Amino acid sequence: MIYKTISLVFLFSIFSATAQKTDSIAAIDSTVAHHIKFNYKQLIIPGALIGYGVIGLESDQLLNFNSQIKKEVTEDIDEKITIDDFSQYAPAASVFALNAFGVKGKNTMRDRSVIFVTSYVIMASTVLGLKSIVHEERPDGSSNNSFPSGHTATAFAGAEFLWQEYKDKSIWYGIAGYAVATGTGLFRIYNNRHWLTDVAAGAGIGILSTKIAYWMNPYITKKLFKSSSEGHSTSMIAPFYNGQQYGLSFVKVF
């Protein structure tokens, strides 16, 4: 059962990346950046994932499915693998790493950074808000902040970020990002830290947060930089939460 679940989740992540390639998403060219128009079709995948997670909070069938997965996973666990503590950041970090190595993305460094910070603020606020409201117990019983998965939300927000910036270069950037994000979610289940419904909701929140950040970027950029030029440096601070620690990240754009 657990192997079938892993396969289905992985295949869904690949579908998420490839399906968005065929969406009728128009881009607006400007002197500052490329911005994405709102399209209701973009809500289908994250909406389905979030809906599955929310329904799973009360659905006896999905709760039983969560328990079955937990039982099968915990039977095979010898020791925890903490790679998910690091892999959650890999997709987003790849965007800046690729740019550093000369592979230019869709947007300028300034706009890319604004989008990243906006996405992270939306994602972290949503995750923390839901955790404080829902109070779902973790599978290992360690705390009551299981829903949704913050690690998974972080990973999928980064995967969508990577997809949007580099999908015009190659579809494989997006597929790789979504594969890493899916692996992060699966390791959260494997390490007995989250239920499948937590991971699904986290994935949906992460994807949607980045989409919203792209939709908002023209307005945020206009407000932040209406009196500044492209060459001026800008500093931004964004909160982070990895499931255990709180903190701030600092971004300086030159």
Task: For 52-87, give the secondary structure using H, E and C.
Answer: HHHHCCCCHHHHHHHHHHHHHHHHHCCCCCCCHHHH
How confident is the model over 16-25, as pLDDT tens digits? Answer: 444 444 443 3
Give the residue numbers spanning the domain of 14: 2-228
Residue 53 lies in a domain: yes
What integer pLDDT is reported at residue 137 of this predicted model? 97
Count: domains in the chain: 1
- The stretch 85-95 carries a mean pLDDT of 96
- How many C-beta atoms surround the C-beta of residue 102 within 10 A? 6
- What is the per-residue pLDDT for 248? 54
d(CA 102, CA 153): 28
Q: Which helix (H) or strand (E) holds 119?
A: helix 109-134
Note whether residue 193 is domain-resident.
yes
pLDDT, tens digit, 9 for 90 and up, residues 134-147: 999 999 999 999 99
Taking CB atoms within 8 Å and a gap of at least 24, the contacts of 126-132 are 126/153, 126/205, 126/209, 127/153, 127/202, 127/205, 127/241, 128/241, 130/201
| C-alpha–C-alpha distance, residues 116 and 5, integer Å | 31
Record the pTM: 0.80
Of 8-22, 70-84, 109-123, 207-221, the poorest mean pLDDT is in 8-22
Three-class SS of residue 28? strand
Residue 247 resides in a domain: no
Is 208 in contact with 43 (CB distance < 8 Å)? yes
User: For residues 142 and 150, what is the distance between their CA atoms, to the nearest angstrom?
Assistant: 16
Contact between 118 and 217 (Cβ < 8 Å): yes
* CA terminus-to-terminus distance, the chain: 50
What are phi and psi for residue 108, nearest 5 degrees?
A: -70, 165
The pLDDT assigned to 35 comes to 56
Instruction: Please say if the pLDDT value at position 150 is more than 90.
Output: yes
d(CA 200, CA 178): 13
In tens, the pLDDT along 162-216 reads: 999 999 999 999 999 999 999 999 999 999 999 999 999 999 999 999 999 999 9
Residue 157 lies in a domain: yes
* pLDDT tier for residue 43 given thresholds of 50, 70 and 90: very high
Distances (CA, A) of 96 to 34, 90, 109: 17, 10, 8
Residue 233 located in a structural domain = no
- Give the helix/strand (H/E) hosting 246: strand 246-253
The span from the CA of 36 to the CA of 210, in Å, is 11
Residue 236 DSSP SS3 = strand
**Among 155, 120, 112, 95, which residue's Cα sits nearest to residue 239?**
120
237 belongs to a structural domain? no
